[in-house]
């Protein structure tokens, strides 16, 4: 057999493979889509941000740039595009590119194919509110959904944000990931994360960070005010610990409470919350308790709605909104758990817990809207009615899921505890939803799946309780409160309004006492 030299052919094949692979990887690198935002505030006294969006690697000639109409966590159409002004575009040589508005929140950019392009525009701010961007000469609050355009069809594109501030003393608080070694540059893996992370910029103050289960937590704020900061921080640590104990897991690497200054409202996010805050008034036990309720509510939301979420709340529809019948769970049950979290943290006594629930009961029972609108309808119609019900022509025909939601949560909790001989509770339902749908399936739950989870915990049908969700059937407080050895009294005030109050029954069975004690966290 004749011996042949195959080595040169083998080498040639390897070299060809390396060359082809290099060309392919280079082409892919060149076609990698990038979007980088620079946010500046050259004239803050005019309340106007300037934004530059640089993009490259796009194979499309025409891109539709859109501004969200709302932000997750605030279920109202905000029409953020109305704040956008002076938009223009150019390529890397400075040549003007055509960009025209095609509808109320969309701009068509042409000539972008295989080019580095820059889109510039201004965001005019007018209203100081937790769901709006705002800028003045002292600080900036950036709602990313109110500030940064996205490319239609490409919400999964990674993005970067660079913030240029006018003052060296300014600090930036945000849940976005920082670029290593940069205090003013951030990244997000997609637009859902970008829009979930507001930025607060100014001369901010921080309280000492604390750890829960080894994870860092911090409160940072603009115009924090004068109050007992040590006590506040100790209480906040107890709140976080109490909530974590219910769920048994911390799903973030760090968490930041961001106080945006005096005002109204708070909005939850995956690893942070932005809250209106002024500590100057925290001079009494009652005022401290109220703000702890508020912070417990926003903190518990990182579980309930950001992770334990209705099926419709993700992927988000930034154009039309994401309607759901289940916001009473996301918001109403979070009100219920804010009470329990604070009580179990040792920061609320039994009387105050009852008073909180009585506030909800009396709001519902003195609202004729309970005869017209169910909880599921209130959830779905919040985009039109608002979270507290319509105040216009339909006044008296709507309800607030912030009031009825926690009450149905209470009845549901006691029904589960009673049916299971106090071996299960609504806590078990929340844990099941968290571990099954968020951790395992990475999706939201449906109406039917929520009821199944509740009945699985109870070991019995809960059809009677679920009638309170889907119909206008009157709540039977007496029946369900009795499961925990509690009763309800009613009187009529001079103004004709009903006043209902909760108290312990004179005699209780061992099961009733056991349910009440475990519910109170004692």
Tally Cβ neighbours within 10 Å of residue 91. Answer: 14
- C-alpha torsion 14→20→21→26, nearest 10: 150
Whole-angstrom distance, CA of residue 24 vs CA of residue 143 = 39
Find the mean pLDDT for residues 432-459: 98
Task: Please give the pLDDT value at position 27.
Answer: 38
pLDDT at 11: 41
Lowest mean pLDDT among 127-131, 455-459, 494-498: 494-498
List alpha helices for 181-251, DSSP H. 191-195, 229-247
The SS3 call for residue 74 is strand
The pLDDT of 142-171, averaged and rounded, is 95
Distance CA 327, CA 305 (A): 8
Kindly indicate the confidence band of residue 392, based on its pLDDT and cuts at 50, 70 and 90.
Answer: low
pLDDT of residue 22: 41
Per-residue pLDDT, 428:
98
The pLDDT mean for the chain works out to 92
Contact between 135 and 83 under an 8 Å Cβ cutoff? The reply is no
E-strand ranges in 234-355 read 254-259, 266-268, 272-275
Rounded distance, CA 295 to CA 258, Å?
10
Tens of pLDDT, residue by residue over 113-141, are: 999 999 999 999 999 999 999 999 999 99
Instruction: Write down the pLDDT at residue 494.
Output: 86
Asked if the model's pLDDT at residue 349 lies above 60, the reply is yes
What residues pair up with 96 in beta bridges, in sequence order?
A: 90
pLDDT at 1 over 60: no
- What pLDDT does residue 14 have? 42
171 vs 21, higher pLDDT? 171
What per-residue confidence (pLDDT) applies to 28?
40
Neighbours of 488 (CB within 10 A): 16
| Spatial contact of 126 and 133, defined as CB atoms under 8 Å apart | no
pLDDT at 70 over 60: yes
**Dihedral sign for Cα atoms in the order 341, 344, 348, 349:** positive
Which 8-state DSSP code applies to residue 329?
I
Q: Residue 68: is the preceding peptide bond cis (ω within 30°)?
A: no
User: What digits encode the pLDDT tens for the residues 71-120?
Assistant: 999 999 999 999 999 999 999 999 999 999 999 999 999 999 999 999 99
Which of the four pLDDT bands, split at 50, 70 and 90, describes residue 23?
very low
The pLDDT value recorded for residue 20 is 42
Mapping DSSP to helix (H, G, I), strand (E, B) and coil, where does residue 416 land?
helix
How sure is the predictor about 29, in pLDDT bands with cuts at 50, 70 and 90? very low
Residue 285: band (very low, low, confident or very high) from pLDDT cuts 50, 70, 90? very high
Determine the pLDDT at residue 10: 43
Q: If pLDDT is split at 50, 70 and 90, which confidence band does 174 have?
A: very high
| C-alpha span between 357 and 363 (Å, rounded) | 10
- Tell me the pLDDT band of 393, cut-offs 50, 70 and 90: low
**Residue 86, burial from CB neighbour count under 10 angstroms (0-12, 13-18, 19+):** exposed
pLDDT at 18: 41
Q: Which residue is it, tokens 């990313």?
A: 144
Residue 195 has pLDDT above 60, yes or no: yes
Residue 31 confidence class, pLDDT cut points 50, 70, 90: low
Report the pLDDT value the prediction gives residue 381, as an integer from 0 to 100.
93
Residue 25 — left, alpha, or beta (φ > 0 → left; ψ -120 to 50 → alpha)? alpha
């Amino acid at each position: 057999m004749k011996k042949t030299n195959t080595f040169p052919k083998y080498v040639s094949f390897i070299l060809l493979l390396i060359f082809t692979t290099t060309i392919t990887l280079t082409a892919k690198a060149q076609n990698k889509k990038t979007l980088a935002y620079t946010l500046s505030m050259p004239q803050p006294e005019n309340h106007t941000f300037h934004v530059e969006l640089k993009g490259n690697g796009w194979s499309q000639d025409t891109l539709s740039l859109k501004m969200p109409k709302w932000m997750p966590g605030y279920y109202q159409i905000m029409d953020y595009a109305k704040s956008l002004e002076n938009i223009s575009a150019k390529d890397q040589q400075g040549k003007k590119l055509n960009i025209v508005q095609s509808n109320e929140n969309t701009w068509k950019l042409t000539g972008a194919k295989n080019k580095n392009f820059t889109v510039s525009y201004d965001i005019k701010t007018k209203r100081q509110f937790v769901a709006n961007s705002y800028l003045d000469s002292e600080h900036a609050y950036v709602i990313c959904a109110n500030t940064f355009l996205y490319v239609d069809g490409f919400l999964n594109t990674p993005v970067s944000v660079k913030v240029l501030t006018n003052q060296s003393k300014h600090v930036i608080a945000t849940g976005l990931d920082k670029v290593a070694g940069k205090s003013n540059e951030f990244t997000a893996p997609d637009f859902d994360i970008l829009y979930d992370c507001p930025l607060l910029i100014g001369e901010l103050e921080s309280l000492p960070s604390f750890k829960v289960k080894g994870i860092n937590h911090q409160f940072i704020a603009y115009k924090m005010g004068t109050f007992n900061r040590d006590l506040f921080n100790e209480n906040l640590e107890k709140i976080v610990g109490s909530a974590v104990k219910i769920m048994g897991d911390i799903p973030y690497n760090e968490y930041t409470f961001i106080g945006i200054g005096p005002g109204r409202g708070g909005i939850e996010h995956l690893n942070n919350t932005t809250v209106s805050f002024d500590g100057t008034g925290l001079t009494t036990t009652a005022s401290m308790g109220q703000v702890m309720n508020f912070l417990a509510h926003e903190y518990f939301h990182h579980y309930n709605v950001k992770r334990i979420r209705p099926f419709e709340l993700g992927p988000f529809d930034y154009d039309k909104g994401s309607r759901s019948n289940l916001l009473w769970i996301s918001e109403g049950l979070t009100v219920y758990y804010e009470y329990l979290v604070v009580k179990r943290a040792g920061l609320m006594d039994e009387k105050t817990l009852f008073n909180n629930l009585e506030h909800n009961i009396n709001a519902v029972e003195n609202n004729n809207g309970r005869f017209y609108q169910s909880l599921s309808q209130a959830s779905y119609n919040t985009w039109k009615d608002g979270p507290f019900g319509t105040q216009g022509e339909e006044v008296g025909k709507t309800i607030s899921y912030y009031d009825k939601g926690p009450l149905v949560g209470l009845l549901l909790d006691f029904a589960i505890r009673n049916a299971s001989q106090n071996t299960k509770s609504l806590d078990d339902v929340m844990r099941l939803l968290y571990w099954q749908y968020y951790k395992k399936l990475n999706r939201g739950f449906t109406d039917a799946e929520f009821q199944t989870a509740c009945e699985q915990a109870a070991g019995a049908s809960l059809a009677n309780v679920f009638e309170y969700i889907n119909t206008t059937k009157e709540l039977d407080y007496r029946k369900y409160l009795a499961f925990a050895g509690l009763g309800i009294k009613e009187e009529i005030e001079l103004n004709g309004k009903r006043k209902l109050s909760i108290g312990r029954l004179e005699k209780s069975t061992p099961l009733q006492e056991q349910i009440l004690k475990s519910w109170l966290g004692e």
